Structure 1
Amino acid sequence: MAKSKLLRMDNVGIVVESLDEAIAFFEEIGLKLEGRATIEGEWAGRVTGLGSQNVEIAMMVTPDGHSRLEISKFIHPATISDHRTAPVNSLGYLRMMFTVEDIDELVSRLLKHGATLAGELVQYENSYRLCYIRAKDGLLVGLAEQLNK
């Protein structure tokens, strides 16, 4: 029997409290809204294992078109767990990393939107400047600026 072949990674998904605020935050980083939809019905619950569900989703895409972020807000069933305040070394913890052109300028804009630095903006050798930043709602995002292009 032939081994299955990976074709691509389609997206990474996150669950948020406010779809509109999350869209605005990721647009500030540079992602573009590709579309919004409501996902519901028996088929959806069979995929997730949640049974009957009603979820609003937004699909965001990076400027190069290669990576997507699926943002979900559960209407039903209600969200039952919150990992946003867990330390970054927690099992199963999620964060996204984006490469940006001018990290100082972007961090300044995100701070004006209520984001906070999780630690410090640091330089790794002569390769990158990077930081972790928390959105106003607690989502953790990594930002990196490549120094030697």
Structure 2
Amino acid sequence: MAVKRMDNVGIVVEDLGATIDFFLELGLELEGRATIEGEWAGRITGLGDQHVEIAMMRTPDGHSRLELSRFLRPPIVADHRNAPVNALGYLRVMFAVDDLDDTLERLGKRGAQLVGEVVQYEDIYRLCYIRGPEGILIGLAQGLR
């Protein structure tokens, strides 16, 4: 087997603090924060001299992580935050939640906006997409069984 697990999904943001707060409200845990810089990091990313603040957010089960990054150097070169759901590239991160209505209410207080509407898929799930901090597209799913 070549793959052992998926470690994390990386998302670049401008306001690291607000994004951390949003994901804490969703129920993720802050695993740690760090500053990444140096020649070794630039060799991995191909960006050369870089300086990045990161925060690692972990799901309560400990199996999934989001790596939130704020680039101090070099400057951001593109912005895909408001791309529609059918744009090429990253689509969304989906989270399973206990209570979709409660989650939407709590995240709405932190600026989350419903993209379409809450729908029910058969008797299995209630689902929706929201735009979180900085336009990050997030899926929420509540199991019904």
Question: Normalised by the size of structure 1, how large is the TM-score?
Answer: 0.95
**Out of 35, 38, 43, which is 2:35 matched to?**
38
Aligned to 1:116: 113
Structure 2, unmatched stretches of 5+, are none
What's the secondary structure of 2:72's corresponding residue?
Answer: strand
- Give the drift of 1:95: 1.0
Identity of aligned residues (%): 66
Indicate the structure whose relative CO is greater, using CA pairs within 8 Å and at least 6 residues apart: 2
- Give the drift of 1:58: 0.1
2:128 matched to 1:134? no
User: What is the 5 A alignment of 1:42-81?
Assistant: 42-81=39-78
CA-based RMSD: 0.9
What's the secondary structure of 2:86's corresponding residue?
Answer: coil
- Give the drift of 1:9: 0.8
- After the TM superposition, which segments of 4 or more aligned residues of structure 1 sit over 3 Å from their partners? none
2:98 matched to 1:98? no
Structure 1, unmatched stretches of 5+, are none
- Preserved CA contact (<8 Å) 1:38 1:54: yes
- Give the drift of 1:112: 1.2
- Give the drift of 1:21: 0.5
Aligned length: 145
